[in-house]
Amino acid sequence: MGKRGYHHGNLRQALVDAALVLIEQKGPTGFTLSEAAKTAGVTPAAVYRHFEGREALIAEGARQGHEIFADVMDYAFESGGPSALAAFEATGRAYLAFARKYPGHYMAMFESGIPMNATPGLASAAARSRAILEKAADALSQHIPPEKRPPASMFSAHIWAMSHGVVELFARGKPGGNAPFPPEELLEAGIGIYLRGLGLIEPDQ
């Protein structure tokens, strides 16, 4: 890669990009700071000018991932109409698409063991992405009287967990994976069954 960080005047981002490549190749704990420095084309000492250690480097990758993730999810929700259900299902498909397109970010976000509150920036970005799914969930429940409405934070968390499970089992960078059905179909069917069980959508939807 050469000393791209120096030439471009953005060594910090070059190190993050290098870490994301290594995370994708070796997993969040499978690389060293020295390897990240080598991949970015700089000396190991240069890393410490920008990051305290590997966890801080991964946390920045996770923060950037959540920012992209939130943008992707928000676009899917806002353009996924015409119904609240269609918009909600669009966020599920966007979840799978993000995991496929940004595997390094995804692993930094959800598989590195880095706490969501590791840095203020990461905490803020993670809260934003979570809030978008909660917004989509809340829109689905508006037809239910408030006193009977399940908390949007609860069922959005359940859908998030279901989406993550489909990614881990069937969509890890291999469309179709080992699933008996396409991951998008599995997730859409699972979401439908779950939402019908809660009474959030009619049985024939």
Nearest to 166 by CA among 93, 103, 117: 93
Q: Where are the domains of the chain?
A: 1-51, 59-198
Q: For 113-167, how does the pLDDT look when each residue is reduced to its tens digit (9 = 90+)?
A: 999 988 999 999 999 989 998 998 888 888 888 888 888 888 889 888 999 998 8
CA distance 161 to 203: 23
For the four alpha carbons of 120, 156, 146 and 144, in that order, the dihedral sign comes to positive
Q: What's the pLDDT score for residue 58?
A: 94
- pLDDT cut 70: percent of the chain above it: 89
Give pLDDT < 50 ranges for the chain.
Answer: 1-8, 176
CATH 1.10.287 fits 1-51, yes or no: no
Give the pLDDT confidence score for residue 7 in this predicted structure. Answer: 46
* Alpha carbon distance 134, 101 (integer Å): 23
59-198 falls under which CATH superfamily?
Answer: Tetracycline Repressor, domain 2 (1.10.357.10)
